Amino acid sequence: MLTNEELLSAIRNHAQEIFENLTTEELVQKALERKEGSLTDMGALAADTGEFTGRSPKDKFMVRDAKTADTVWWGNVNQPIEPEQFNALLDRVIQHLQGKDIFIRHAYAGADPEYRVNIQVVTESAYQNLFAKHLFLRPTEQEASQQETEWLIVAAPSFKAGGAIDGVRQQNFTIVDMTRKIILIGGSGYTGEIKKGIFGVMNYILPQERNVLSMHCSANIGEEGDTAIFFGLSGTGKTTLSADPKRKLIGDDEHGWSEKTVFNFEGGCYAKCVNLTEEKEPQIWNAIKHGALVENVRYFEGTQSVNFDDISVTENTRVAYPIEYIDNIAVPSIGDAPKNIFFLTADAFGVLPPISKLTPSQAMYHFISGYTAKVAGTEAGVTEPQATFSACFGQAFLPLHPAKYAEMLGKKLTENPDVNVWLINTGWTGGPYGVGSRMKLSYTRAMITAALEGKLNGEFTEHPVFGILMPNECENVPAELLHPRNTWSDKSAYDAQCQKLAKLFNDNFEKFADGSSEEIKSAAPKLAEIG
């Protein structure tokens, strides 16, 4: 069985031409020469990813062997493939790449040198390599020349698998081999598979082997050097709320929490740009310039101006850019252990308080729940909110049982008793969606600022069902907003809605109960009458 260095040599020896560690300018030029994309009037490279414009979770596999058999959380998230099937498929991909132009990139993940993971990325196209250059951390020329191949990523969109005969579902696949340290991507040109492949790897090796909590979150640092972490699913305001002019951004998506530091895994950002405007997201808008990569967008007719409202290809339009394209970043992308942790939810049921303080057991419970709510489509007059739960706010990328990450969070909170954990509801108040109103961004910012500045240390009221602590007052926020029941004209309707949401939490938790401690279970909401 070939080592990764030997695999890389085999790829090099049979390539048509090798383009290694090209600059941003060179990669953009190569992409244009090869007709992989075009330049927008903002200067960014626009490229299409082909048939697949998003991740394909049903086509993600992990090699089940002696290392992973008893550690991985097998199921829909982590589907097994046998080593023999993987090795055969890898050999076929390597053969497929013979005679083709190959782009190679030296990179690494993990800004903290103690937890750095070296990566070499092999792609068929220039735009994929540009993505890897932006999203991963970039070694110096000297580091790149001396770098050994620890993890190897091979992305071959033009290779089509044979489905079941190859041990996969259809033509496209992403397979992670933890033992051989290889991520193999075929049949899909969607660049997010490259990024999320490494995130999944870090989610395995850091908690399992390095005693580091891996997190799907954003993080920033205040003027006093205090670190804050923001967890939240799509639509909860994670990107917006972590972008604070008074605080430096560590990173916007993936971090590790070691004994001493919070550190970014990445060297860039991969932001959604559907309905993007300069007013709504100035940081993202200003980052779409020369060198950035926009994916699956369309132009206004007869122009090179991107129509960000056009979703004819996909709603999942994206832009990739290096973190240096953002003003006010932390250099390097490392902070101290956090002082404040925020769980963001957009509760469309209108039940949860706009801000509440969590005990360590509640923090573990809400972490493992990863709750938000989406507003249903209104085609048939349906306005009922839909609860969404994603364990640890990133279930799709967890190789280990979610309780493992929740227990690690609990241990961190025990070791760092001064850390405050807050639950922030950026959703509805005064009633559910369709009745109440969306929480004003200015109020949410005021509550987060008060928490960061240590100004929420007054009196709290315990929520009768969820048990979380609601502050009785907060500077620049009307007091009646802080206790959600007070904002509903029909108090009995609130009580009923509260019971409904509590049951949804309890029902969702059932699938994690077997692997969870009694401490976590004790924090579940209580289905009891509200007085």
Give just the sign of the alpha carbon dihedral 369, 375, 377, 380.
positive
Q: Closest Cα partner for 125 from 52, 48, 193, 36?
A: 36
Residue matched to tokens 């340290």: 181
AA identity, residue 60: K
Instruction: Examine the residue annotation and report whether 485 is marked as an active-site residue of this protein.
Output: no
For residues 382 and 142, what is the distance between their CA atoms, to the nearest angstrom?
59
**Which one of 234, 414, 437, 442 is the catalytic residue?**
234
Residue matched to tokens 């904002």: 487
Instruction: Examine the residue annotation and report whether 180 is marked as an active-site residue of this protein.
Output: no
Q: Please enumerate in sequence order all residues whose Cβ is within 8 A of that of 454, keeping only pairs 6 or more positions apart, or say none.
A: none
Three-state SS string over 330-387 comes to CCCCEEECEEEEEEEECCCCCCCCCEEEECHHHHHHHHHHCEEEEECCCCCCCCCEEE
**Which one of 133, 138, 195, 216 is the catalytic residue?**
216
Asked if 368 and 516 touch (Cβ cutoff 8 Å), the reply is yes
Q: Is 23 helix (H, G, I), strand (E, B) or coil?
A: coil
Asked if 396 and 390 touch (Cβ cutoff 8 Å), the reply is yes
45-47 and 293-295: which strand pairing?
parallel
**Which one of 59, 253, 347, 495 is the catalytic residue?**
253
**Which one of 181, 248, 318, 366 is the catalytic residue?**
318
Instruction: Examine the residue annotation and report whether 191 is marked as an active-site residue of this protein.
Output: no
Asked if 421 and 341 touch (Cβ cutoff 8 Å), the reply is yes
**Which one of 196, 247, 357, 404 is the catalytic residue?**
196
Instruction: Examine the residue annotation and report whether 234 is marked as an active-site residue of this protein.
Output: yes
What is the 8-class DSSP label of residue 423? E
Instruction: Examine the residue annotation and report whether 138 is marked as an active-site residue of this protein.
Output: no
Instruction: Examine the residue annotation and report whether 227 is marked as an active-site residue of this protein.
Output: no
79-81 and 60-63: which strand pairing?
parallel
Question: What DSSP string runs through 244-292?
Answer: -TTSEEEESSEEEE-SSEEEES-SEEEEE-TT--TTT-HHHHHH-STT-
Phi, psi of 85, rounded to the nearest 5 degrees: -65, -40
**Which one of 30, 133, 138, 238 is the catalytic residue?**
238
**Which one of 30, 40, 55, 333 is the catalytic residue?**
55
254-257 and 213-216: which strand pairing?
antiparallel
420-425 and 355-358: which strand pairing?
antiparallel
Instruction: Examine the residue annotation and report whether 166 is marked as an active-site residue of this protein.
Output: no
The Cβ-side half-sphere exposure at 98, using a 13 Å CA radius, reads 10
Asked if 237 and 244 touch (Cβ cutoff 8 Å), the reply is no
297 sits in the region (left: phi over 0; alpha: psi -120 to 50; else beta) called: beta
**Which one of 68, 239, 242, 426 is the catalytic residue?**
239
Instruction: Examine the residue annotation and report whether 361 is marked as an active-site residue of this protein.
Output: no
Phi, psi of 7, rounded to the nearest 5 degrees: -60, -45
Q: Which residues belong to the active site?
A: 55, 196, 216, 234, 238-239, 253, 318
